[in-house]
Every structure is written in C-alpha cells, then in structure tokens.
Amino acid sequence: MKNKEYLNGLNNEQREAVSYLDGPLLIVAGAGSGKTKVLTSKIAHIIEEKKAFPNQILAVTFTNKAAKEMQNRVSEILKKNSSGLSWLGTFHSISAKLLRKHARAVGLNYNFTILDTDDQIRLIKNICKSENIDVKKISPNYIISVIDKWKNKGWYPLDVEIKKSEFLEKQFLNVYKIYQQKLLDLNACDFGDLILHCVKIFENNEDICKIYSNNFKYILVDEYQDTNVIQSKWLNYLSSHHKNLCCVGDDDQSIYSWRGAEIKNFLEFDKYYENTKIIRLEKNYRSTQNILNTASFLIENNKNRVGKKIYTDGEKGDLINLSCYKSGKDEAINVGDKIEKLKNDFGFNNMAILVRAIFQTREFEERFLKIGIPYRIIGGIKFYERAEIKDCLSYLRIVNQHKDDLAFERIVNVPKRSIGDTTINTISNYAKSNKISLIESSKKLLELNKIKPKTKIGLSSIIKLIEKWSRDHLNGTNHVKLLQTIMDESGYSSMLKNKKDLENENRVENIKELMNAMKEFDNLDSFLEHVSLATSIDQDWEGQKVNLMTMHASKGLEFDVVFLPGWEEGLFPHQKSIEEKGDKGLEEERRLAYVGITRAKKLVNVSFSMNRFYQGDWMDSMASRFVEELPEENIEKNIQNENEVADFEFNQDVEFESEIKSPGWLRYQKRLK
C-alpha cells in the first residue's frame, strides 16, 4: 500500500477499516472513536487507489449537515474539490434524485412535488372530513405518524398488516389508501414515499436496478444502527452487484426505535451479507477511562449487542459523581451550585444537562433564572414559552384579570369553538371604538345579536366559563385546583387526551409540571407575578450558555461536563417504554443511559431524588436500576444533606421480577386505585 498522508493519523483498527475494500464490511464504532474520520478517509482511499471514480461511490448519511461535513473533509484530504461525489447525501436526497429519473415507473411525472408536513396535515384533514373522522378526537399528526410507520416498514396500503385489536389503525388504513391515491392525483409524494417508491421501482424493474447496482462500486453508510426496514431494503438492492457495502455505526447507541429504527439491521448484518468482515473501533478519543469503564460496565447488561470494549490512552480522570437529593428542587439547586463552581475551569458552553423527558428542564430553568446562569434549550423550547404552557397561563391571566385582552385573544378559540379571525376582528374593532375590553365587547355584541349563530354558542360558553372560574377564584378555590378545573371544563384536557401522539403526551407532562411549579406559591397572584418576572429576564445574553436538552437530542454531541439528573425508576428507565416494549424497551433505555454518559469528556454527574412530583403526584422515588448497574470502583457517592436522607440506601436490595413489575409500575398502579 502506498504511504498516503491521510493514513498516517489513523490507529491500526481505523487503518484496517479504511483499507478493506473487498466485500461487505461492518464497522462497529464506539462512542468518540473517530468514525467520521474513517468514513472520509475511506472515500479518499477508494479514489486515490483508483478503485472507483467519485460518481461510482454512494455515501449515505442521515442529515444534510453530516453529508456536508463529509464532503468538506474529503475535499480537504484530496486537496481538491470533491464535487465529483455526486452521490453523497441523505437517504431522502439521493432517493429524490433517483425518483426524478424514473418517476413514471410509479405513476408520477419527473416534476413531482415533495409535500412538507403542513401540506400533509392539510391533505389528511380533507380526507378525514370526507370520511367523517373527527380531527378533534384523532390528530392528523398521529395519522401521519402511523402512515409513516407503515412506509418505514415498506408497506403500501395493500401490504399493511393489522392486528384485530388495532381498531384505530383499521380506520387509518382506509385514510392511507385515499391519501396515496390523492398523492398520485396531485403528482406528489411525501418523504416516506421517496425511499418506498425507489424500492418498488427496483423490485419491479430489474433493468433499472442493474443500472445503479452496477454503477455503485462502493456504498458507505453512516449511523447504520438508525436505519429502518425500507432503508435496509434500499441498500440491499443498490449493493446487489458489487457487494461492497460498508456500514458504520454503534448498536449501543441505537435509541430511535420510536422513529422506526430497526436495531436488527445492525445485529444481523453478517446474516444478510455473506462473508462480512467486522472491525471494531474501540479506541476512544473523547472521554476519560473512568467515564468509559462506567459506560461499558452499564451497557454490558444488554443481551442484544455485537459487543465491544471502549478504552482510551488518555487519563483515568475523576470518578463519576453519584448524588442523592431530597427532591427535584434540591437537585436543581445543587446542580446550579456545581455549575457555578465549574464555570471558570470549563465555561458554560462546555457543560450540559441531559434529561430523559423535556418537562424536567423546568426546575433547572427556574433555578438558573433566579441565580443568573445563562442557558439554552437544544432541540426544544424554553418551558414558559411552550404553547400549552402559554395557553394555561393565558387562561389563568384572564380569570385573574378580565381586561387582559392578549390572554383572551389567545384562549378564546383554544380548543376550537368556531370563533374565527373574522369574529375576533369584529370583537376587537368594537372594543377599540367603545374603549372597552375584549370580554366586554364580546358580551355587548352577543346582546346586540351581532354574532353568527354557530359562533354565538362557542363565544357565549367561554365567557360564561371565564365568569364562573373568576367566581371560584374569588371564593378561595386553590389556584392549582383552579387550573385543573379550567383545563377540564374548557375542553383542553379532552383535546390533549383525544389526540394520540408523542407531542401531546409531552404537553400533558408539561402541564402537570406547571401545576407542580404553582404549588410553590401561596396564591395565583404571586405565581403569575413570578412567571412574568421569569420570562421578562433577558435570556439572550451574549457569549456562553449552559446546554439543556433530552438525552435523545444529545446524540452526536460532546461536552466537558455532563449532568444526568432524574435517574429514578419510572422516569428513567421510562415506564411507558418498558410497558410497551418489555425487554426491548428496557435495553433501549439502557442504551440511552450509555449515550448520556459518553457525551462527557471530563466529568459526569448522575443524580436522583427521594421525592419527585411526577405525572401530577408527589412520589417516593426509587433509584433507577441503572444506578445499581454503575461499577462501584468508578463512582463517588455524594449525599448532600445526610440528616435529611440518612434513611436512604444507594444500593437498594430490590429484585426486578420482570420488566413490567418495576417500582415505577407499582407506583402507577397505586395511583390508579
């Protein structure tokens, strides 16, 4: 082999992965092992060794950002523009390119439109209307997610398999049939169709499939553990001639099954492709050995994995700090204090708090606002800026103060009450002319019979409800109970419960967290004042900010210091994941813990609390089973206030009989009784 410059900076395993060019290759790349460097060096090596022209290499990523980074790195290595890599992109961008050339094979014209989410929602709403499906009860977003799930599995309407118990999905199947026909009529497709149609073309047109499988001498895939069924089929067809398929990924970081990712693709790669070479990249260039030992020890509890042992030539580093706190509030206070102590050594930008569920950010945000720690929410919205929280606050504001026109404007048609923009403009114009509030204006217009009959019912009902809630408030109804009453009587609770999708589940959790926040205040006035002050603080400070995000959103990122709060049974591992997916769900949750730990370069802080307000109730917490799985020799236990938590055992002698009968599940059952 020629002494290529780009090979010099590689370790033995990386060099072997780059140099192997004959047949299917699975690169098991541990966290921080330099997989992007390997992929880009491999592309450069193929070109330099004249094994293929740039346009004979297919390189697939999951994001445009990753594709661009790969393109730039290859250009850097080759010291020339890599624009010749015309087949480097995401699954969807490459599929769109293929589909434009062969659109007629699936009943489309080459100039087809690719629908965005808004277009999809509009189309689904129209179909639901014609099929008498109430979109107030079943969210169009949820229907789209089910259709997307079917497409990820490679199913057209005629291929869909539905269990007898899945009544809703039977209803959706009819919508799916109409939806696909509408797409054809519109000369359009959605993102799921891009790959699905390509696979259909390859299945039904051997000549077209041959053109591409002959052309692509080498196929490289990044983050292979995140591929779904249809993406796997797509790769299978395109690699069928040369068999030079190189897939890079880490099965221990497979955390997106809810998006359709199928870990089986990774675990059984050598069964799909004969004579597969497996190379493990185990040397880590990111974290200390203590961090790596902890992550490795934890993930070894998973049975379904390829297996590897990550290590570093770097320092052993500090022990993982494991802390127990009295409550979630105490946890936030202490994390804030630790950040203050560490800011001079690391800077805010290099610190991150990774949570299992987005509602957990609230207590940290409150604390940071109070003590002046700048922060950003990555992959999400700040707590008091979330739509459902703003809705709740607007309801409370209008009950507290009838002249709050902005609050009235926000909630008057949420949930839908047939009060459109035209009516709101009429109310607003009358209010301006008569110098009265929007509520007073609405009352006057109703008295004068100036509101359309259909709208009149909705407007009249919300005004009566506001007046009733105001009386409840004046008569001394507790402010937390008041919000619950408002949510129930306004129809807001029903709206969230009826629309079955992940977003709505998060919204419900956020509202319950808001109620938790309200309990810290004696009355409604003091709470609303607190929120006003909190949200008015300028959070667009220049410079450094602490990063808050979910563990899912942290994938691919790294920080000097990582905080992992809320490691309690029921919250993490999340009870829903275990109940729905059993052992598979538990293993995915453990992989999520592995991802969280391996984001850290220098310091890891794991914590849990003895009590937490969760799902609307205060609960006695039990440390997550993952806490029990951390290696004793790599952790340092820290009890902040020994007097308060003296009776708490870090290592609780608890046997988990099954994935269902966990402590979190038992607590859940208690609540149901």
Rounded Cα distance between 95 and 208, Å, is 14
Report helix, strand or coil for 134: coil
Phi, psi of 605 (to 5 degrees): -120, 110
The stretch 45-58 carries a mean pLDDT of 94
Catalytic residues: 35-36, 222-223, 253, 599
Is the confidence at residue 349, as pLDDT, over 70? yes
The reported pLDDT for the residue numbered 65 is 85
pLDDT-based confidence at residue 663 (cuts at 50, 70, 90): very low
Place of tokens 């589940």: 505
pLDDT of residue 530: 82
Both tokens of residue 601? Answer: 């370069």
In this predicted model, what pLDDT tens digit does every residue of 495-504 receive, in sequence order? 888 766 667 7
Note the pLDDT of residue 611: 85
Q: Find the mean pLDDT for residues 243-258.
A: 94
Task: Look at residue 469 and tell me whether its pLDDT is greater than 70.
Answer: yes
Tens digits of residue pLDDT in 519-559: 888 899 889 888 877 666 545 545 789 999 999 999 989 99
Mind giving me the DSSP string for 214-238?
Answer: HH-SEEEESSGGG--HHHHHHHHHH
Q: 615 falls in which pLDDT band (50, 70, 90)?
A: low
Peptide bond into 415 cis (omega under 30): yes
Bond prior to 374 in cis (omega within 30° of 0): no
Rounded percentage of the chain residues whose pLDDT exceeds 90:
68
Q: Residue 443: which residues within 8 A CB-CB, separation 6 or more?
A: 463
- Mean of the per-residue pLDDT values of the chain: 89
Please, which pLDDT band fits residue 81 given cuts at 50, 70 and 90?
A: low
Instruction: Tell whether the model's pLDDT for residue 268 goes beyond 90.
Output: yes
Pull the structure tokens for residue 23.
């047949």
What is the rounded distance in angstroms from the CA atom of residue 195 to the CA atom of residue 94?
9
pLDDT for 340 equals: 95
Q: State mean pLDDT over 7-24.
A: 94
pLDDT score of 300? 96
pLDDT per residue over 207-244, tens digit each? Answer: 999 999 999 999 999 999 999 999 999 999 999 999 99
> Which pLDDT tens digit goes with each residue over 364-402?
999 998 898 999 999 888 888 899 999 999 999 999 989
The average pLDDT across 611-639 equals 84
- Whether the link from the prior residue into 631 is cis, omega within 30° of 0, is no
Q: Residue 1: what pLDDT? A: 39
Residues in the chain: 673
Q: Is-contact 353 565, C-beta < 8 A?
A: yes
Lowest mean pLDDT among 27-36, 105-114, 167-176: 167-176
Residue 671: pLDDT band with limits 50, 70, 90 = very low
The beta-strand segments (E) located in 501-557 are 546-550
Are 513 and 616 in contact by the 8 Å Cβ rule? The answer is: no
pLDDT in tens, 127-183: 999 998 888 778 888 899 999 999 999 999 999 988 766 677 788 999 999 999 999
**In the chain, pLDDT over 70 holds for what percent of residues?**
90
pTM of the model: 0.82
Number of H helices, E strands in the chain: 28, 16
- By CB atoms closer than 10 A (0-12, 13-18, 19+), residue 636 is exposed
pLDDT value at residue 634: 96
- Can you give the pLDDT at residue 363? 93
Nearest to 17 by CA among 339, 281, 322: 281
pLDDT band, residue 516 (cuts 50/70/90): confident
